[in-house]
Structure formats: structure tokens, C-alpha cells
Structure 1
Amino acid sequence: MAVCVAVIAKENYPLFIKTIPTDNELKFYYTVHTSLDVVEEKISSVGKNTNDMRELYLGLLYPTEDYKVYGYVTNTKVKFVIIMESSNTNLRDNEIRSMFRKLHGAYSDMLCNPFYTPGENITSRSFEEVVLAMMQQD
């Protein structure tokens, strides 16, 4: 089950962060913020190896004692970060990829809304419903 889902703009400011209700939500914000360094490092290392034929899914960015942080970058450099519980050992890599594909699809659908200005905070109810469904899976 995802405990935090974040969408980060190309300029590294958060467009959307949703966490499970807890007394320490600030910890998730800090974890998302620190994961951006790893995302940038992975993007720059992949960009040197191939001619812009990079994989959007970045995989496991780093594990902590309680959580695993996964990353995904769109072609427009918008970053998705999902934080999962470390205790969830039956979750496979292809399931994480599927979650990111759903999130990317919901983001693309939200961008098609003519009333949304790219770069603003995401307030779409349909996008939030997709995120909440990811957070309630088990």
C-alpha cells in the first residue's frame, strides 16, 4: 500500500502530495524532497549513456528503515514519487510500474482539462480519486 504519492514539477516544486493520515506527515514531505536528488542523479546518468532513449520508470530510489521510495519521470521532466511500506514484501516491480502508468495516465487526463494551467497545483477530483485508490490497495 502506498503511504505517499507526489507529483513534482520540472522545476522541483510540488504540484501534488497526498499522504496517509498520520501524526508525522512532514516526514513524507521530507522523504519526497530528499528523493529529488536521487531522481536528478539517475536522470543525468541515463542521459549520458543513451541518446534520449531512457526508461521513464526509475525504480527503487532508496530504501529507508520503514519505507521504500520509487520514482518515475515523464518526458517533460515531471516527476512522480511513490513511497511504499517496507513491510509490503509481496509487491513486485511490475506492480509498481503499473501504479506509475496509472498515475501518468491520470496526470495526462488532468492536463487535457482546458481549465488547468500547467505548473499550478493539482486540484482535480478525478486525479485524487486515482491516487486514493492506489493508497487503499493492499
Structure 2
Amino acid sequence: MSVVYEKEDLAYQHQFILHAALDVVQDLAWTTNAMFLRSVDRFNDLVVSVYVTAGHTRFMLLHDSRSDDGIKTFFQEVHDLYIKIFLNPLYLPGSLITSSHFDTKVRALARKYL
């Protein structure tokens, strides 16, 4: 039973780390034209990398230190997938993306680049 609580606590900790990094992302997004902001925050052995689209949608990745090139390529390809979803006339901008196809593709990209 304690293993389940530890996993839940870890998930909440990861959410907290990502939410805490949003303030840094907000400041950086308006001071640079770069879309890939690299690592913007660290917590213990974890790093928060961020990609900000032209419309200020933020893709955030919590990871241990890895190749910036792989992470950048991952974000660029996720951005391409996001654009395809966004251009779908049935998608309501700002709503939750519930496509299992999108989820499968993002997971495949993560295995490939991360």
C-alpha cells in the first residue's frame, strides 16, 4: 500500500516542480525569440526543459539531464503534432486534447528522442 502512496506523492511532486517553473517560463518567454528555452529550472536531479510556441503554448518536460539536441527535436515534432490537432476544425482551442492517436505519437517520439 505504501508503494502506491509513494508513486502518488512523486506524481504530485513532479506537478509541483513544473508549476513552480511556470513563473520562470513566463519571464523568459517575453525576453527571447527562441522557442526552445532549454533547461529553465532544476530540482535535485530533475531538470525542467521548455518549448514555447508562437501562440505562447508551453510544452514542459521534466527529466534527468540528457541531450539537448534530442529534447529539442522531441519538442519540435510534438509542436508539429500540436499544429495538426489545432488545425482540426473540430478541435476547440484551449480544450483538452483527448486524441489517443496524439498520445500514442507523443509517446513514440519520447521513446525515440528521450
Aligned partners of 1:95, 1:41: CA distance in 2, in Å?
Answer: 25
Letter in 2 for 1:106: L
- Counterpart residue number, 2:78: 103
Instruction: Give the superposition deviation at 1:45.
Output: 2.5
Name the SS of the counterpart of 1:122 in structure 2: coil
Asked if 1:57 is matched to 2:48, the reply is no
- Counterpart residue number, 1:126: 101
Q: What per-residue deviation string (whole Å, max 9, x for no partner) do you get for residues 55-102 of structure 1?
A: 11111111221311100110001111011124xxxx321111101001
Taking CA–CA contacts closer than 8 Å with sequence separation of 6 or more, which of the two structures ends up with the larger relative contact order? Answer: 1
Counterpart contact for 2:42–2:48, Cα < 8 Å: yes
1:23-102 correspondence runs (5 A): 23=8, 24-46=10-32, 54-86=33-65, 91-102=66-77
Aligned partners of 1:35, 1:131: CA distance in 2, in Å?
Answer: 22
Percent identity at matched positions?
A: 27
List, as ranges, runs of 4+ consecutive aligned residues in structure 1 with deviation greater than 3 Å: 134-138
Letter in 1 for 2:34: E
Letter in 2 for 1:28: H
Q: Which has the higher strand share?
A: 1
Q: What per-residue deviation string (whole Å, max 9, x for no partner) do you get for residues 7-63 of structure 1?
A: xxxxxxxxxxxxxxx3321112112211110111112332xxxxxxx1111111112
Unaligned runs of 5+ in 1: 1-21, 47-53
Aligned partners of 1:82, 1:111: CA distance in 2, in Å?
Answer: 20
- Counterpart residue number, 1:7: none
Question: Which is greater in Rg?
Answer: 2
Aligned partners of 1:130, 1:122: CA distance in 2, in Å?
Answer: 13
With the length of structure 2 as denominator, give the TM-score of the two structures.
0.82
Instruction: Give the superposition deviation at 1:135.
Output: 4.2
- Counterpart residue number, 2:4: none
